[in-house]
Copies of this chain bind each other. A is one copy, B any other.
Amino acid sequence: MFQGEQPVVANQARVAQCGKPPVMPKLTPETQHARRERILDAAERSFARAGFHRCTMQEICREAGISPGALYVYFSSKEELIAGIVERDRNKLASELAELKNAPDLLSALAKLGEHYTIEEPLYKRVLCIEIGCEATRNPAVGEIYRSVDTFCRQNFAQVFERAREDGKIEPQDDSRTLAEVVSLIGDGLFWRRAVNPDLDVQAILPIIVRLVSTLLNPVEPSVQPASKAAKTEAAV
């Protein structure tokens, strides 16, 4: 994914093929899209505050400064609004992770991402991530979006590792996809801890996390630049 309006993960299962297609035309597409975004923003804040299922449509309308009638022009159900939130959020994550491929230094790029998502990102967004994952375990539409992005991200990680393997930076017996899964696990763990315990001192933890990940990534002598065909050192682990 490069910048642009296409989502990273194809819109298979285009959100909710509800009987009645929302009536759509007549406002210029840009303002149309802008209003959808505006509503999504309001919904995001509201959902983060109360959770998907304790948040009322009225509350979202209030937050967005519009009436229910207006809202239903853009989203034909609460369900669809939820799916819209999830889709937008996940696609953003996916495109950010996809950037990793271009990073000159994977490790510091990862650290930076971790820092971004756990420190700079406002609290309500972090809480929403958790809510989304939770919803994905029960709501089929959400689950499908969630898992498709998740799969994409892991494949992406795996490709990065595969490339690292070619540079001899990886223990040969380690499977790339398994490593990708481990990195995802650590990332998700970081999210989760941060959401659940807002006092978490991320700054203290990150260096250790980075050190851990680096043991997966750099069995090769450091400071020696990619001598292409892996020169394994004797010092095991």
* Contacts from A to B (Cβ < 8 Å): 49-51, 53-54, 127, 130-131, 133-138, 146-147, 150, 174-175, 178-179, 181-182, 184-190, 192-193, 195-197, 200-201, 204-205, 208-209, 211-212, 215-216, 235, 237
Contacts and interface: CB of A to CB of B under 8 A. Distances in A.
Majority secondary structure of chain A interface residues (helix, strand, loop or mixed):
helix
Contact of A205 (B51, B130, B181, B237): B181
B51 A146 contact: no
8 contacts: A137-B196, A150-B196, A178-B201, A181-B201, A185-B205, A187-B189, A188-B189, A192-B192
Nearest to A189: B189
- Counted per complex, copies of this chain come to 2
A135 B133 CA distance: 13
A133 B188 contact: no
Contact of A178 (B49, B131, B205): B205
A186 to B, nearest CB: 6
Contact of A188 (B193, B216, B237): B193
